[in-house]
Amino acid sequence: MNPLIKLILFVFIIFCLNGCESQEIRYHNKMIKILSEKSEIIDPEINIYASKKRLAWLQKQSHDTNIASKLQHEAVIANEMLNAGYTQQAIDTYNNVLNIIDSLELSPPREFTNSVLDLLAITNLRLGEEINCLDDHNKESCIIPIRGSGVHRNKSGSNKAIQIYNKLLSQNPNDFVYRWLINLAYMLQGDYPNNIPKKWMIPQLTPSDSISFPEFNEVAAERGLDHISLAGGSIAEDLDQDGDIDILASSWGIDNQIQLFINDGTGHFLNHTNKANLIGITGGLNMVHGDYNNDGFADIFVLRGGWFGEEGKTPNSLLRNNGDGTFTDITIAANIYSEFPTQTASWGDYNNDGWLDLIIGNETTNGPIYPSELYHNNGDGTFTEKSQTIGLNIIGFIKAIVWGDIDNDGDQDLFVSRLGQPNSLYRNNGKSQNWSFTDIGRIAGIEEPKNSFPAWFFDYNNDGWEDIWVSGYDNSSGHVAMDYLGIPNKGETPRLYKNNKDGTFSNVTDETNMNHPLLTMGSNFGDINNDGFLDIYLGTGDPDYRSIQPNRMFINSSGETFDDVTFHGRFGHLQKGHGVSFADIDGDGDQDVHAVMGGAYEGSVFQNTLYENPGNWENNWIGISLHGLKANSLAIGARITILLENGNSIFRTVSSGGSFGANPFKQMIGIGKNNKISKINIYWPVSGKNQDYYNLETNRWHYIIESSS
């Protein structure tokens, strides 16, 4: 080729590359500007979670000059002070309301006075948390049963709360919310169970002797992961491909900075948010990851606007992992920009073309309709929205949307959790019907619970067929108290649906001991004791400060029942739990648990947690890291079958776990006390090929590449 032509071509290529790069940088910066602008235009009259702005707005509102109106207004102001994190000011304001009532010898309705007392009690409990658990945090802070250094040194908040709850319970001894909270208050000051009045005591808030289970240590602070946040997402993944697990954590406030923590190789973490080009990428009630461009590096999708209704019209973000430690927001460039309220999405290859597609479950409440979106991956860095054309006209208050293969036919089906409406199960009709979907939810028998939240596919009983777990989200701390006391209650329980292998499912919630009122938000599954059966961790609570419930851990007992080891394992954190990830953080051969903590209101912040696995299980494991060639690079949807030397089998489908929190895609699989594996079979999506492997060593990782033939 003529040298001059070569030079012209070289200059042209460099110009194009620089132009593309510059355009991507412009789009990245544009998204940062959009997010900043969205933060500035929040309407405090509509957005009940914009606590500080809402407080300022309420303080400017006029009210009737009569004393009743003034007291009502002051009580509202005090509540918003609590929400904004001005806890002592809220206490002072509530006390001022009560003092006015006493000094003027007023007789307001008992309901009003009791409401003020109720809120004053919980505000005092929150002040105790702030003083003893936030400002003076240690590894036992807020973990039930409260003991040792977890007992409050400054007991003023719990003391005041106890006084109020005793008064309220004397008027209404059957209020189980108050009964639950007074037990916690006595526990916080070290007086449970000896000094609590027996008529109020809930005796079951200690580990039972019937279960033997080791304690996990909460080590987030010493590992560099104790970031303080609101509700948000968690991703555990080897984001820089150096062989260890990194952590990405978000916080749902539109101006809350996403945080990237890079593992130094020893299970300790350094904050690389700035180095990763993430400054200004904010918000995110949830996050999901996948490799949309098949370059081997996990990309991130950030979900915003969940629960906000009309105020939730905020764009999501697709963050491309550049493979050099940095990320670029390519949402606009990828044609995936939209402004619908959402907190749930899932990556999956619905048409088996080897490129990951993205389903987003949007939230339609009483206002405008926000249909869910299915973004088809075009394989060139862009996406095309195709939900309507393939039968996924999904509308509702969607809280979970997850892929799974219910019939083992090699293509991805879809489960949809709707809050306040029946759930749906969309069967993938396959290539012969142009990759369309049919809702078989009613036929399959999976429409409950009525108020659903997180959900996932997993094979809980190791029979080779994916089952469905979906949580309920309609109960209170009172229902939890009644459950511990063995009193029937109306709290919403989760559903565990066993796959009948014929397109239908059976509700096995009762027989597997999962029939508890669990107000579940963030959650996920993993195998923390390496026995080959998948366990469940549930983050609990709702925005109300009175919604103080222990996060729960259930251990799978041979695929038959789940044992509650919350108290035994020291998992019973009382702060609101959100994004959850199971991963071997420190590389010692067992799974640890990372959880993003914190509530919805701006004052409801807390440190994120990391539960370190003690690792004394005497069980073996094998690590399988798959790389697809025809399938997507992370092998999402691939099936792993392990035939053990004792003749039993263990089954896994490659996924990131649950719908609210994300595990690594490489699979750490417990094999119990088996020392040898007879055979491992890998079923690859797209090609439909099976690969068999023999004599693979246990207690180590194996990197398996899909056959190109």
Residue 149 DSSP one-character state: G
Tokens of 546: 């009175």
pLDDT tens string 509-551: 999 999 999 999 999 999 999 999 999 999 999 999 999 999 9
pLDDT tens string 93-110: 999 999 999 998 889 999
Residue 193: is the preceding peptide bond cis (ω within 30°)? yes
Across 448-470, average pLDDT? 97
Report the first-to-last Cα separation within the chain, whole angstroms.
36
Could you give the 3-state DSSP secondary structure of residue 465? coil
Give yes or no for residue 17 having a pLDDT over 80. Answer: no
Instruction: Please name the amino acid found at residue 11.
Output: V
- Return the ∠ at Cα 295 (arms to 264 and 432), rounded to 5°: 135
CA pseudo-torsion sign 399, 39, 133, 93:
negative
**What integer pLDDT is reported at residue 366 of this predicted model?**
86
pLDDT tens string 614-628: 998 999 999 999 999
Give the C-alpha separation, 98 to 75, whole Å: 10
Give yes or no for residue 680 having a pLDDT over 90. Answer: yes
Other CB atoms within 10 A of residue 597 CB: 30
**What integer pLDDT is reported at residue 436 of this predicted model?**
98
What separation in angstroms does the CA of 158 have from each of 129, 181, 601?
Answer: 9, 10, 21
Please tell me the least confidently modeled range out of 11-20, 165-174, 400-409, 526-535. 11-20
pLDDT tens string 553-581: 999 999 999 999 999 999 999 999 999 99
**What integer pLDDT is reported at residue 676 of this predicted model?**
94
Whether this prediction's pTM lies above 0.75 is answered by yes
Give yes or no for residue 358 having a pLDDT over 60. Answer: yes
Q: Which residue has the higher pLDDT, 709 or 664?
A: 664
Tokens of 702: 């194996």
Q: Tell me, rounded to whole angstroms, the distance of Cα 662 from its chain centroid.
A: 8
| Position 113 confidence tier, pLDDT thresholds 50, 70, 90 | very high
Give the C-alpha separation, 214 to 221, whole Å: 21
Across 190-204, average pLDDT? 95
pLDDT tens string 39-52: 999 999 999 999 99
State the average pLDDT for the chain: 95
Q: Pairing mode, if any, of strands 143-144 and 572-573?
A: antiparallel
pLDDT above 70 coverage of the chain, percent:
97
**What integer pLDDT is reported at residue 539 of this predicted model?**
97
| Position 22 confidence tier, pLDDT thresholds 50, 70, 90 | confident
**What integer pLDDT is reported at residue 310 of this predicted model?**
87
Across 442-459, average pLDDT? 97
Give yes or no for residue 14 having a pLDDT over 60. Answer: no
Q: Are 550 and 494 in contact (CB under 8 A)?
A: no
pLDDT tens string 471-524: 999 999 999 999 999 999 999 999 999 999 999 999 999 999 999 999 999 999
Please tell me the least confidently modeled range out of 8-12, 327-331, 348-352. 8-12
